[in-house]
Every structure is written in C-alpha cells, then in structure tokens.
C-alpha cells in the first residue's frame, strides 16, 4: 500500500471533483426542466404528442449513455449544416457535449419518474378540488405538482446518484473529471488500488451526502397520514 | 447502406460478431453477478454483525462508485493481482488476462450488487409463515429451499431482475475502454476508419435498442410463467 501516493493524489482528485460536481449540477438542472416538460407531454391525451414523449424516453433509456455522448460529441460534428451554424460554438466543446448528453439522459428518466408520480395521485383529490370550485390551473399548480414532487422524491434521489455515476463517462470525451484524473494517475503510476480507494471514497462521500439530503427532504415533506 | 455489407466491403459481419460479443459478455456478467448475489445475500440477512457489515459494504461501495472506475480498477489491477499470486508459486513472467474475462468479471461484480439487493428484497417479502410451515412439515433442506422458497422468491424477483439485466446490458458498453471488441468498440473502430461516426454510433444505438427490446419480451414471458396462480 503506497500511502504517499494516496496523500499526493488526494488534492488532485479533489480538484477534479469540482468538474464532476459542475457537470452533475448543470445536467440535473436542465434535466429536471426537460423531464418535467416531457412528463406533462406524456399525460397529454393527444396520441401523437403522447407517443413522441414516450419515444424520447424509450430511446434514451434503452441505449447506453456512452453511445449518446459519442453520437453528440463525435457524430454531430459530421453534419456540415451544424458546423457552420452558431450551435457549433457549443458543440465543439466536449464540456457542453457532455452536459447535453447527460441532460437528455437524465431528462428521460426524470420524465418517467414524474409521470408515474402524477399518475399515482388519487383521482379523489382532484375531484375534491373541482367540487370546491377551484380552477384547473390552481389544481395543477397547487395540488398536483406538490403531491407529485413528494411522491417522486425517493426515485429522484436514486436518479441523482445514478447521474453522479454517469458523469464519470465525461472522461471518455477528454474531460478531466474525477474518473478522468483517477485514470490518468493510475496509468502513470500503475497503482490502481490506492487511487481507487481515494477516488471511490470521494464518490461514496458524495453518494452519502445526496442520500441523506433526499432523506431529509422526504421527512420534511412527508404527508401526515 | 454500403457500410453495412458483409465481407470485406462493409462492416456488417464485424458488427454482427460485436453484437454477439455484447450478448456473451452480458450473460456471463449476469451469471457472475448471480454467483456473487448468492454468496452475499445470506451475509446481508445474517444476524452476525461482521458478516452483515461485509455484505453491506459490498453493495454500498459498488452501487456508490461509478462503473467506469470499477472497470479501470480491474483492467489495470487485474493482471497485477494475478501476477502477484503467480509469483508466490514461482512464476515471474508477465501475464495478460483476457479482456473478455476482465470485462465480464468487473461488470459481473457490479451487476451482483444490484442482484443482491433484489434477492434480499424478495426474500424479505416472502411471508414468514412459509418458512415456518416448511420447517414444521419436516421437509429436507433441498425441498425447503428449491421447491418452496426459491419459486416464491423468483416470482417477486423477476420484474426487478429484468431491470438489473437492462443495466448490465448497457454497462457492457463501458468495457469498450479496455479494448474488448463489442458493439461500442467495433463502432469506434468503424467510425475511425470510415470517418462516419454519426452513422456508426446511431447504428450502435439501434443495436442496443433491439437488444433491450427483445430481452424485455423474453422477460415478460418469464414473468408470466413464474406468476402462475397469482
């Protein structure tokens, strides 16, 4: 066991954790917006809109995240039209490509989580709101959304942890996130176990924080049943 | 479409073999995962504190650390560990382990952690009376486990195991970083040599969609088979 290496690599890995956290927070933020949008589209009665939203989530949940990153990073650059458009400023950066891929991926999972949360709301609750003469808009914003958010918290907590692990794939498109730096140190020192313990420890610490934060939120917003 | 011709002209046959390789790695990894799950689930349910901690540590660490990091650990550390063991027996040459074995083993350990949780959950939700009744009736251990507990456990476990299978199947794409020629690696090679990444990565996505779709249909049948009587 090479403790010196563990001590010297710790600050480097901690620095790389910032990249991981940036990727995670950006993709969760945009992913939540997309997920919410598509969850509402899934609940639409129009069969085309419904099928479109289902297709999106099926496509992104049925393929590995690695393929999605590669299509966006390596694939989109091939389209001449995109290269000459203003979008190229974003798409030539591996950082933004990774965020786009993560956003679309987590958006698909989030939309499924939110959809099932909306569907498990008891119809009586909505009927009660209607019979009290509350408008549909207020029923949606003040009754359905808060209940759905509470319902989806445990599943969304898992999704955050899965996404945190997913950000490690950014290292495949030349980004130096936690896993990227860990791999670099491993391949230069050939001491995989020491580096794994330090990098894995940082990941586990983040998992621990997220897990407990979600538990706290669950408790705070639990129904008094 | 010419890119997909079989033979020297296109990449059709290469991609077909790569798809078979992905299926082979997924199945091997799933079986290795089941072996791990069969070993760790009793630990997680045991009353002994030390055994319990070992079981919990396995599932927590593996489920909290990115798959890619685990793969790197085994890819870079695997042959070192084997060479260390071999040097004890007086063999000092360089040993390179097969990429297939490293890949299936690392994905297997990951999928094992998920399977463990599924089995634990399924075992815990079987009615306690079933265990007691089987004991009271004096069945031997074989019948007790394989004819009474296991079928009930499978009924509860199969829907969740289907999720584990989907995760495992998608995780195999990560082994491409170790150089094993499965769908992702083959697409990478093809994209590099034809300079057409968009086509090949999209085709890889279609292959994965096909695999997940077909496996879902098969698992649905199993689900129906094991939920007879419910």
Give the total number of structural domains in chain A. 1
- Residue B170: list chain A partners with CB under 8 A: 63-65
Q: What is the mean pLDDT of chain A?
A: 90
Confirm whether A113 is domain-assigned.
yes
Confirm whether A160 is domain-assigned.
yes
Q: Do residue A172 and residue B61 have CB atoms under 8 angstroms apart?
A: no
Find the chain B residues whose C-beta atoms sit closer than 8 A to any C-beta of A.
Answer: 60-61, 63-69, 72-73, 76-77, 80, 170-171, 173-174, 176-177, 184, 187-188, 191, 196-198, 201-202, 204-205, 208-209, 212-213
Let me know the angle formed at the C-alpha of A138 by A137 and A140, rounded to the nearest 5 degrees: 65
Residue pLDDT, tens place only, B154-190: 888 988 999 999 999 999 999 998 888 999 999 999 9
Residue pLDDT, tens place only, B37-80: 999 999 998 889 999 999 999 999 999 999 999 999 988 887 77
Digits of tens for pLDDT over chain A (225 positions)? Answer: 788 888 888 999 999 999 999 999 999 999 999 999 999 999 888 999 999 999 999 999 999 999 999 999 998 888 878 778 877 888 888 999 999 999 999 999 999 999 999 988 888 988 999 999 999 899 888 888 888 888 899 899 999 999 999 999 999 998 999 999 999 999 898 888 889 999 999 999 999 999 999 999 988 887 654
CATH, residue B92:
1.10.3720.10
CATH, residue A134:
1.10.3720.10
Q: What is the pLDDT of residue A2?
A: 80
Confirm whether B89 is domain-assigned.
yes
Confirm whether A183 is domain-assigned.
no
The parent domain of residue B72 ranges over 19-178
- Least Cα distance to A27 among A96, A89, A130 occurs for A96
Give the total number of structural domains in chain B. 1
Q: Which long-range contacts (CB under 8 A, 24 or more apart) does A37-41 make?
A: A37/A111, A38/A107, A38/A108, A38/A111, A39/A110, A39/A111, A39/A112, A39/A113, A39/A114, A39/A115, A39/A118
Residue pLDDT, tens place only, B2-30: 677 777 677 888 899 999 999 999 999 99
Other Cβ atoms closer than 10 A to B208: 23
Confirm whether A60 is domain-assigned.
yes
Report yes or no: B94 and B86 within 8 Å, Cβ to Cβ.
no
Give the best residue of A64, A167, A187 to mutate against chain B (max B CB count within 10 A): A64
Q: Is A65 on the interface with B (CB under 8 A)?
A: yes
Q: Is A146 on the interface with B (CB under 8 A)?
A: no
Give the best residue of A168, A172, A193, A210 to mutate against chain B (max B CB count within 10 A): A168
- Residue B201: list chain A partners with CB under 8 A: 67, 70-71, 74-75
What CA–CA distance (Å, rounded) separates A124 from A114?
19
Cα–Cα distances (Å) from B91 to B38, B74, B83, B206, B223, in that order, read 33, 21, 8, 46, 49
Is the pLDDT reported for residue B94 higher than 80? no
Confirm whether A6 is domain-assigned.
no
Taken in order A187, A192, A198, A202, the sign of the CA dihedral is positive
> What is the three-class DSSP state of A169?
helix
What CA–CA distance (Å, rounded) separates B22 from B16?
10
Q: Do residue B173 and residue A196 have CB atoms under 8 angstroms apart?
A: no
First to last CA, chain A: 53
The parent domain of residue A74 ranges over 20-174
Residue pLDDT, tens place only, A48-60: 999 999 999 999 9
* Beta strand extents in A83-220 (DSSP E only): none
Q: What is the pLDDT of residue B24?
A: 95
Report yes or no: B223 and B159 within 8 Å, Cβ to Cβ.
yes
Report yes or no: A20 and A178 within 8 Å, Cβ to Cβ.
yes
Q: How far is A92 from chain B (nearest CA, A)?
A: 15
Q: What is the pLDDT of residue B151?
A: 86
- Least Cα distance to A19 among A192, A206, A197, A159 occurs for A206
Residue pLDDT, tens place only, A24-81: 999 999 999 999 999 999 988 899 999 999 999 999 999 999 999 999 999 888 887 8
């Amino acid at each position: 066991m090479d403790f010196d290496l563990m001590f010297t690599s710790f600050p480097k890995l901690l620095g790389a954790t910032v990249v991981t956290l940036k990727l995670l927070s950006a993709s969760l933020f945009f992913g939540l917006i997309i997920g919410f949008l598509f969850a509402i589209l899934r609940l639409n009665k129009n069969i085309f809109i419904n099928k479109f939203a289902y297709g999106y989530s099926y496509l992104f949940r049925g393929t590995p995240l690695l393929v999605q990153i590669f299509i966006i990073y390596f694939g989109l650059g091939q389209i001449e039209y995109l290269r000459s458009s203003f979008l190229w400023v974003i798409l030539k950066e591996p950082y933004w490509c990774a965020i786009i891929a993560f956003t679309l991926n987590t958006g698909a999972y989030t939309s499924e989580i939110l959809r099932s949360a909306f569907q498990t709301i008891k119809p009586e609750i909505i009927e009660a709101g209607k019979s009290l003469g509350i408008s549909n808009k207020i029923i949606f914003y003040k009754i359905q959304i808060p209940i759905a958010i509470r319902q989806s918290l445990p599943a969304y907590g898992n999704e955050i942890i899965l996404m945190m692990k997913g950000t490690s794939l950014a290292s495949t498109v030349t980004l130096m996130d936690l896993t990227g730096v860990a791999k670099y140190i491993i391949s230069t020192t050939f001491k995989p176990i020491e580096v794994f313990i330090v990098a894995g420890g940082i990941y586990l610490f983040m998992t621990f924080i997220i897990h407990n934060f979600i538990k706290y939120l669950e408790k705070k917003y639990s129904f008094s049943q | 479409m010419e890119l997909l011709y079989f033979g020297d002209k296109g990449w059709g046959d290469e991609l077909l073999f790569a798809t078979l390789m992905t299926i082979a790695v997924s199945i091997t990894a799933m079986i290795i995962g089941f072996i791990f799950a069969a070993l760790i689930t009793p630990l997680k349910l045991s009353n002994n504190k030390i055994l319990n901690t070992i079981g919990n540590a396995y599932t927590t660490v593996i489920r909290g650390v990115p798959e890619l990091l685990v793969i790197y650990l085994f890819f870079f550390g695997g042959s070192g560990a084997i060479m260390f063991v071999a040097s004890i027996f007086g063999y000092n040459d360089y040993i390179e382990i097969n990429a297939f074995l490293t890949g299936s083993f690392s994905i297997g350990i990951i999928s094992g952690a998920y399977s463990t949780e599924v089995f634990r959950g399924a075992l815990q939700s079987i009615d306690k009376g079933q265990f007691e009744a089987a004991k009271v009736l004096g069945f031997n251990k074989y019948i007790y486990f394989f004819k009474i507990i296991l079928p009930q456990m499978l009924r509860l476990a199969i829907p969740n195991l289907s999720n584990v299978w989907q995760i495992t199947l998608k995780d195999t794409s990560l082994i491409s970083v170790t150089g094993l020629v499965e769908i992702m690696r083959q697409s990478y090679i093809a994209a590099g040599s034809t300079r057409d990444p968009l086509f090949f990565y999209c085709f890889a996505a279609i292959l994965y969609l096909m695999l997940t779709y077909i496996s879902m249909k098969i698992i649905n049948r199993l689900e129906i088979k094991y939920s007879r009587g419910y």
